[in-house]
Amino acid sequence: PGPRAAAAQAKAAVPGVKHIIAVASGKGGVGKSTTAANLALALRRLGLAVGVLDADIYGPSMPKLLALKGKPQIVSGRTLRPLEGYGLKVMSIGFLVEEEAAMIWRGPMVMSAIQQMLREVDWGELDVLVVDMPPGTGDAQLTMAQAVPLAGAVIVSTPQDLALIDARRGVAMFRKVEVPVLGLVENMSYFLCPSCGTRSDIFGHGGARHEAERLGVPFLGEVPLDMEIREKSDAGLPVVVTVPDGPHAATYLDIARRV
């Protein structure tokens, strides 16, 4: 197929999937995947049918975050059945190949893997498919944003200036491909002392809210840097489901309502 046909295919809807939302960040390590997982679970708690596509090809985190292991079964032809965890349908490159294998893939292989995980998976009927994007806002992310028919994007940033500059690039990137920015989430917004509960604004406070206003995009909420989030995430026990009445679950539910 020529470039036009390829572009048309890229933009074609995924049957059964109503809305596809990307979770992106200007750089790695800001908590994009943690946010994507908890946002997906919060949307689920709001009663929606939700899937997660782990498009972070070079560092898939969904298998660990959602405590999922195993190989997806083939349903028919080339179509794979997604794994299920905490009521979410999940597909990750981490289920399909060894991590070292995907690490050395070049752009076209990455793109075909994304298309396959998007279109050759039996997603069934979904209200929302949350896509955990690879970190960064370079050409690779731009191509990927174009390859997936996105309804909108959520950008995760920490309050530091550098992360915010990257978030700004993220907003510009999605605008370039005409994907609405649903808003900015400030992660690691402030520090909650695990022993005394005191709050410290280590990176300053309000940076992302300010930046969102400046960019004219919604500010979706702030998530503190908290030991509980780190421990639960790394153990595959995301706070939204394992501490359902806690303050973090409430924050993610608020973010989900605003999205």
Residues that bind ligand ADP (CB under 6 A): 25, 28-34, 61, 135, 187-188, 223, 225-226, 229-230, 233-234
Six-digit token string for 89: 């349908």
Q: Phi/psi at 132 (nearest 5 deg)? A: -85, 105
| 67 DSSP assignment | T
* 70 in a labelled binding site: no
Identify which of residues 28 and 149 has a Cβ nearer to ligand ADP in the complex.
28
227: Cβ–Cβ under 8 A, 6 or more apart, which residues? 192, 194
Identify which of residues 32 and 44 has a Cβ nearer to ligand ADP in the complex.
32
**Which residue is at the shortest CB distance from ligand ADP?**
31
d(CA 167, CA 27): 8
Q: Please report how close the Cβ of residue 144 comes to ligand ADP at its closest, in angstroms.
A: 15
* 87 in a labelled binding site: no
Q: Please report how close the Cβ of residue 187 comes to ligand ADP at its closest, in angstroms.
A: 5
Identify which of residues 10 and 174 has a Cβ nearer to ligand ADP in the complex.
174
* 31 in a labelled binding site: yes
d(CA 50, CA 23): 14
Axis-axis angle for helices 207-215, 161-176 (nearest 10): 30
* 27 in a labelled binding site: yes
Identify which of residues 186 and 211 has a Cβ nearer to ligand ADP in the complex.
186
AA identity, residue 128:
V
Q: Please report how close the Cβ of residue 216 comes to ligand ADP at its closest, in angstroms.
A: 24
Q: Please report how close the Cβ of residue 104 comes to ligand ADP at its closest, in angstroms.
A: 20
Q: Please report how close the Cβ of residue 111 comes to ligand ADP at its closest, in angstroms.
A: 20
Identify which of residues 173 and 229 has a Cβ nearer to ligand ADP in the complex.
229
Q: Please report how close the Cβ of residue 134 comes to ligand ADP at its closest, in angstroms.
A: 9
Most distant CA pair in the chain: distance in Å? 61
Identify which of residues 74 and 227 has a Cβ nearer to ligand ADP in the complex.
227
Six-digit token string for 111: 């793109």
* 176 in a labelled binding site: no
* 29 in a labelled binding site: yes
- Could you tell me where the DSSP H helices lie in the chain? 3-11, 32-45, 62-65, 93-96, 99-103, 107-119, 139-147, 161-176, 207-215, 227-234, 239-242, 247-258
Which residues make up each annotated binding site?
Answer: 26-33
Which residues make up each annotated binding site for ATP?
Answer: 26-33
